[in-house]
Copies of this chain bind each other. A is one copy, B any other.
Amino acid sequence: MKKLLTTLCAIVPLIGTVQAQEFTSTQLEQVKQVREQALNSDLSWQLLESLTSEVGPRLPGSENDKKAVAWAKQQFEQLGFDKVWLEPATFPHWRRYRESGAIVSPSTQPLHLTALGNSVSTPTDGITAAVVMFETLDELIAAPKKSLENKIAFVNYRMNRHIDGNGYGPAVRARSSGAVEAAKKGAIAYMMRSVSTSHHRFAHTGNSRYQEGVSKIPNTAIANPDADQLERLIKAGHAVSVNINLQTEDLGEGTSYNVIGEITGSEYPEHYVLIGGHLDSWDLGTGALDDGAGVALTMAAATHIKQVARPKRSIRVVLFAAEELGLWGAKAYFKQHADKLDNIVAAAESDFGADLVYGFESSVSATSLPIVRAIAQQLAPLGIEYIRANSARGGPDLIPLRQATDAPIFALHQNGTDYFDYHHTADDTLDKVAPDKLKQNTAAYAVFAMMAANAKTTLTGKAK
Q: Which A residues contact B (CB, under 8 angstroms)?
A: 49, 53-57, 63-64, 67, 103, 106-110, 112, 199-202, 224-225, 228-229, 232-233, 236, 238, 283-286, 426-427, 429-432
Determine if B229 and A109 form an interchain contact, defined as CB atoms under 8 angstroms apart: no
Number of copies: 2
Determine if B233 and A199 form an interchain contact, defined as CB atoms under 8 angstroms apart: no
Determine if A56 and B103 form an interchain contact, defined as CB atoms under 8 angstroms apart: yes
Determine if A228 and B430 form an interchain contact, defined as CB atoms under 8 angstroms apart: yes
Query: How far is it, in angstroms, between the C-alpha of A302 and the C-alpha of B417 when the chains are bound?
Result: 43
Query: How far is it, in angstroms, between the C-alpha of A429 and the C-alpha of B223 when the chains are bound?
Result: 12
Determine if A64 and B108 form an interchain contact, defined as CB atoms under 8 angstroms apart: yes
Chain B, Cβ-Cβ closest to A199: B431
Given A228-B431, A431-B199, A426 and B112 contact (CB-CB distance below 8 Å): yes
Query: How far is it, in angstroms, between the C-alpha of A200 and the C-alpha of B54 when the chains are bound?
Result: 20
Determine if B233 and A284 form an interchain contact, defined as CB atoms under 8 angstroms apart: no
Chain B, Cβ-Cβ closest to A285: B201
Known: A67-B107, A201-B285. 19 other contacts (CB 8 A): A53-B236, A54-B106, A54-B107, A54-B233, A54-B236, A54-B238, A55-B107, A56-B103, A63-B108, A64-B108, A110-B283, A110-B284, A112-B426, A200-B200, A200-B202, A201-B202, A225-B431, A228-B430, A229-B429
Query: How far is it, in angstroms, between the C-alpha of A89 and the C-alpha of B296 when the chains are bound?
Result: 57
Chain B, Cβ-Cβ closest to A225: B429
**Separation in Å of the A440 CB from the closest CB of chain B?**
21
Chain B, Cβ-Cβ closest to A53: B232
By a CB distance below 8 angstroms, the chain B residues around A64 are: 107-109
